[in-house]
Amino acid sequence: MLPTPVVAAVLAPFVLWRMYSRIKRLTTRQRSKTWRHRTTLVFFPILLLILTAVSIKTNPFALAGLAAGLPVGAVLGRIAIGRTRFEQVGDDFFFTPHAPIGLAVALLFMARMAWRAYEFFALGSLAHHEFVSSPLTLVIFGVLAGYYMSYAFGLLSWRKRTAPVSP
């Protein structure tokens, strides 16, 4: 097994790159791709079902945290979609997300994951608690999932309203 500092050194650049790309995506104009929005609406519910099944066995309070975070995220996603700038250029669709809400949700989740990584690497794997046994972690994940699902639904609704009607 690799020593903990080696694992952290190998994973850190990848994690930082993903954080950078996520933050960039939340603040710049993007091409709307329906497959991406639909994937979000499939991926997050599946992930939520998996987390629900696991957390029922480990800690029912964590499940309550997940249930509390989902509607908060959905409301934030709805507010953000209302403040998003939409454009259609020819046959292409673009949107510019409302950066403050998206950044707040993403940074909240990233901060929690950084804390969990610190706990794991500083305290060692024996003192580490399971991901799904922490109600706070699942509240924050619920906010993230609710936000992204609500936002993707809003983007698909916008695309449906503005799609050209075929004769």
Domain definitions of the chain by residue range: 34-162
- What pTM does this model have? 0.83
pLDDT along the chain (167 residues), means of 10: 60 74 79 93 94 83 91 97 92 91 90 80 61 83 95 94 65
Q: Which sign does the torsion angle of CA 115, 118, 124, 125 carry?
A: positive
Residue 126, classified by CB atoms within 10 Å of its CB into exposed (0-12), middle (13-18) or buried (19+), is exposed
pLDDT value, residue 118? 77
Query: Do 99 and 26 meet the contact criterion of CB atoms below 8 Å apart?
Result: yes
Query: Do 93 and 160 meet the contact criterion of CB atoms below 8 Å apart?
Result: no
pLDDT value, residue 1? 47
pLDDT value, residue 131? 64
Three-state secondary-structure class, residue 83: coil
